[in-house]
């Protein structure tokens, strides 16, 4: 059955990968992002892959941190394309600096976009989904939302926060018909990461290379599979799963090993 | 190298009440000079603290500063360093709670919780770390809610998970400088923050929090101090809290979620037919 899928941050990276995936499946896809030009390019690239004539492929320019205007703006989007069956919250920013090198404003802005933006978007569609008694919310967090990496103070704070918020929300929605998914990908080869790599902290690069990098299409497919199976936590990739499992079961050992590896490599 | 059990200097935010105050008392009894950063400097509390000193020469410096204002806090920290020296132990204990189901919690309340708990932790860490020497320790008061989610704790849980994430990162970043980082994760403790929360607590939260247990300030202090003395990375006071922490770590998500969802549903059922599961998120 054809679904309506909304994707924030849908004009690039994992969001765009997911947009291509659902387009090829024949679903209606609405991309939400800030930059109109990038959106136009993304919508075109999806249209070229559409498989059904009646398929809706659209782009809406919205800023997820414009909290005041967001509810009204989303109301219009919903009126135009219908309530989504699946909302994927992919809009996010990274920042790779040690905490002492991160200005307070930059820290705040990373948390506001990654946490606040997801929260407000989810709040905009939840009442409708609850009334209907069905729907799926997928929050794209990060592996950095489950484990601590050198140089990711602000980013980890924002993504751990998403993890905590989503887990509370999952409890609150139990039995309502609306399900919540937490997506924690490892590094994916996206524009966000390309920009970050130009200025990345060597210690972060070193640790992340141990986990490996994924292509957006591969990540998107694994994420979509997880959403389809209604998994509460979706971690694409074997190496990422192993890392998360180790840090969860042996947190002290994991932290000490990271410390030793960093000392061995950088002193 | 600082003596872990008897730091010469303690810097503590939120030291005028709750867990922060009890930690201030403890380190005064052990002979430390302390600097407190809080929203209000309460003279009665200061007199109380003076009485805990091991000897009369110990200095207590108190600064009216909000952890949400980095400039103000950094200025107060600089003054404190001049007054009593750099901290050998720095504890961020300032925190706030606003518990409401996801959809009911206003944008303002959500932001307030994030500002105080997350940005406050960042600001405190960024203010004290540059002054600290090798051998000293930074301790961040997170919460059990930083590991285990709870109904109606979307904001608080988000903020405390964030503190845990930040603490994990800081641990790696501070290690090369010889500074250790501890995360303190208490369950419910009988503090002004919780007294305020109890006035209006959701029955489902209550039921789930009982699993993690409830401690008096003294009990919590005992566990926290034992952890700090041992130099632990993660400090969890209370037996029930330790069990909750371990089950979250070792039980499969599926089992944990099924268990919690069952409790949530049975509590909601007890609340009566007027409440549907979705009431929790009604806007």
pLDDT in tens, B147-181: 998 999 999 999 999 999 999 999 999 999 999 99
B272 by DSSP, 3-state: which? coil
Rounded distance, CA B173 to CA B179, Å?
9
Angle at A75 between CA A71 and CA A81, to 5 degrees: 140
Across the A:B interface, residue pairs with CB atoms under 8 Å apart total 198
- A115: nearest CB among B152, B158, B163: B158
Rounded-to-integer distance, Cα A17 and Cα A22, Å: 9
Give yes or no for A153 touching B (CB within 8 A): yes
Here the tokens at position B61 are: 């410096």
Contact A3, A86 (CB under 8 A): yes
Tracing tokens 């590991």 back to the chain, one arrives at B147
From CA B22, how far away is CA B250, in angstroms rounded? Answer: 32
DSSP conformation class of A145: G
Does position B185 have pLDDT exceeding 50, yes or no? yes
Of A6, A22, A152, A155, the active-site residue reads: A155
- Inform me whether the pLDDT recorded for B212 exceeds 80: yes
How high is the mean pLDDT of chain B? Answer: 92
Q: Tell me the H-state helices in chain B.
A: 18-29, 43-51, 70-84, 107-114, 120-128, 154-174, 192-198, 203-212, 217-230, 239-250, 253-270
Q: Do A255 and B154 touch (CB under 8 A)?
A: no
Q: How many Å apart are CA A90 and CA A168, to the nearest integer?
A: 19
Q: Which of B47-61, B113-127, B249-263 has the weakest average pLDDT?
A: B249-263
Active site residue A155: yes
A251: nearest CB among B146, B152, B234: B234
Percent of chain B beyond pLDDT 90?
Answer: 74
What string of DSSP letters covers B125-140? Answer: HHHHGGGPPTT-EEEE
Q: Token pair of B139, please?
A: 């301790």
Mean pLDDT by 10 residues, chain A (267 residues): 94 94 97 95 95 94 90 96 97 92 95 95 95 97 94 96 96 93 93 82 89 91 96 94 92 92 90
Q: How far apart are CA A79 and CA A82, in angstroms?
A: 6
Diameter of chain B by CA atoms? Answer: 64
Is A159 noted as a catalytic residue in this protein?
A: yes
For this structure, is A109 an active site residue? no
User: Considering only residues 59 to 118 of chain A, which have any Cβ-Cβ distance to chain B shorter than 8 Å?
Assistant: 67, 98-100, 104, 107-108, 111, 115-116
Report the pLDDT averaged over residues B113-140.
97
Structure tokens of A232? 């509460």
Tell me if chain B has a CB within 8 Å of the CB of A160: yes
Q: Are the beta carbons of A85 and A3 closer than 8 angstroms?
A: yes
CA distance from start to end of chain B: 54
What is the distance between the alpha carbons of residues A192 and A122, in angstroms, rounded to a whole number? 22
The CA-atom distances, in angstroms, between B101 and each of A118, A172, B10 are 16, 7, 37
A186 three-class SS: coil
Is B171 in contact with A255 (Cβ distance < 8 A)?
yes
pLDDT band of B1, cuts 50, 70, 90: low
Residue-wise pLDDT for B214-246, tens only, equals 899 999 999 999 999 999 999 999 999 999 999
Scanning every residue of chain A, which has its alpha carbon at the shortest distance from the alpha carbon of B152? A168
Q: Which residue of chain B has the CA closest to A177?
A: B278
pLDDT single digits (tens) B260-282 = 989 988 888 888 644 444 444 44
CB contact under 8 A, B169 and A167: no
Distance from CA of B47 to the nearest CA of A (A): 35
How many Å apart are CA A200 and CA A211, to the nearest integer? Answer: 16
| Residue B275: predicted pLDDT | 44
ipTM for the whole predicted complex goes beyond 0.90: yes
Q: What is the rounded CA–CA span in Å between residue B150 and residue B137? A: 30
pTM of the model: 0.94
Min CA distance, A134 vs chain B (Å)? 11
pLDDT for the residue B278: 47
CB–CB contact B261 A174 (8 Å): yes
CB distance B85 to B23 below 8 Å: no
CA dist B67 and B104 (Å) reads: 26
Q: Could you tell me which chain A residue has the CA closest to the CA of B104?
A: A123
Helix (H) or strand (E) holding A106: helix A104-111
Radius of gyration of chain A (CA): 18
Task: Please indicate if any CB of chain B lies within 8 Å of the CB of A135.
Answer: no
- B/e letters for B11-43, b = 16+ CB within 10 Å, e = fewer, are bbbbbbbbbbbbbbbbbbebebbbbbbbbeebe
Q: Can you read off the two tokens belonging to residue A235?
A: 């971690």
Rounded to whole angstroms, the Cα distance separating B95 from B112 reads 10
């Amino acid at each position: 059955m054809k679904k309506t899928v909304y994707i924030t941050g849908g004009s690039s990276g994992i969001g765009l990968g997911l947009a291509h995936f659902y387009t090829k499946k024949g679903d209606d896809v609405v991309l939400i992002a800030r930059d109109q030009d990038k959106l136009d390019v993304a919508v075109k690239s999806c249209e070229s892959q559409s498989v059904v004539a009646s398929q809706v492929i659209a782009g809406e320019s919205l800023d997820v941190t414009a909290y005041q205007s967001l509810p009204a703006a989303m109301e219009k989007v919903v009126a135009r394309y219908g309530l989504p069956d699946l909302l994927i919250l992919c809009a996010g920013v990274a920042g790779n600096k040690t905490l002492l090198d991160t200005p307070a404003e930059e820290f705040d802005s990373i948390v506001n976009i990654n946490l606040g933006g997801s929260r407000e978007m989810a709040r905009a569609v939840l009442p409708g989904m609850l009334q209907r008694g069905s729907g799926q919310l997928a929050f794209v967090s990060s592996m950095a939302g489950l484990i601590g990496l050198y140089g990711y103070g602000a980013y980890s704070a924002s993504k751990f926060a998403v993890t905590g918020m989503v887990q509370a929300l999952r409890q609150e929605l139990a039995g309502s018909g609306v399900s919540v998914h937490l997506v924690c990908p490892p590094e994916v080869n996206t524009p966000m990461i390309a920009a970050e790599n130009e200025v990345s902290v060597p210690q972060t690069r070193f640790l992340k290379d141990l986990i490996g990098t994924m292509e957006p299409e591969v990540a998107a497919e694994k994420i979509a599979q997880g959403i389809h199976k209604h998994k509460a936590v979706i971690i694409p990739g074997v190496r990422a799963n192993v890392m998360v499992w180790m840090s969860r079961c042996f947190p002290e050992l994991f932290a000490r090993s990271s410390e030793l590896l960093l000392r061995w490599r950088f002193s | 190298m600082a003596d872990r059990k008897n730091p010469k200097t303690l810097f503590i935010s939120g030291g005028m009440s709750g867990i922060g105050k009890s930690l201030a008392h403890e380190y005064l009894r052990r002979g430390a000079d302390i600097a407190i950063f809080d929203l209000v400097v309460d003279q009665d509390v200061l007199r109380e603290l003076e009485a805990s000193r091991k000897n009369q020469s110990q200095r207590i410096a108190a600064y009216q500063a909000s952890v949400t204002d980095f400039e103000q806090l950094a200025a107060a920290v600089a003054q404190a360093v001049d007054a009593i020296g750099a901290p050998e132990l720095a504890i961020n204990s300032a925190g706030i709670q606003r518990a409401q189901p996801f959809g009911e919690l206003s944008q303002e309340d959500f932001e307030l919780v994030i500002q105080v708990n997350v940005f406050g932790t960042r600001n405190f860490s960024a203010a004290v770390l540059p002054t600290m020497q090798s051998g000293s320790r930074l301790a961040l008061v997170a919460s059990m809610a930083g590991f285990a989610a709870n109904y109606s704790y979307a904001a608080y849980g988000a903020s405390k998970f964030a503190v845990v994430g930040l603490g994990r990162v800081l641990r790696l970043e501070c290690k090369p400088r010889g500074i250790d980082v501890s995360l303190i994760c208490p369950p419910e403790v009988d503090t002004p923050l919780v007294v305020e929360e109890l006035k209006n607590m959701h029955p489902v939260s209550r039921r789930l929090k009982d699993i993690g247990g409830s401690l008096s300030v003294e009990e919590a202090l005992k566990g926290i101090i034992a952890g700090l003395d041992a130099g632990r990375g993660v400090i969890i006071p209370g037996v029930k809290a330790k069990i909750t922490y371990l089950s979250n770590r070792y039980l499969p998500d599926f089992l944990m979620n099924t268990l919690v969802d069952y409790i949530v549903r049975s509590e909601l059922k007890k609340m009566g037919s007027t409440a549907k599961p979705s009431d929790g998120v009604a806007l």
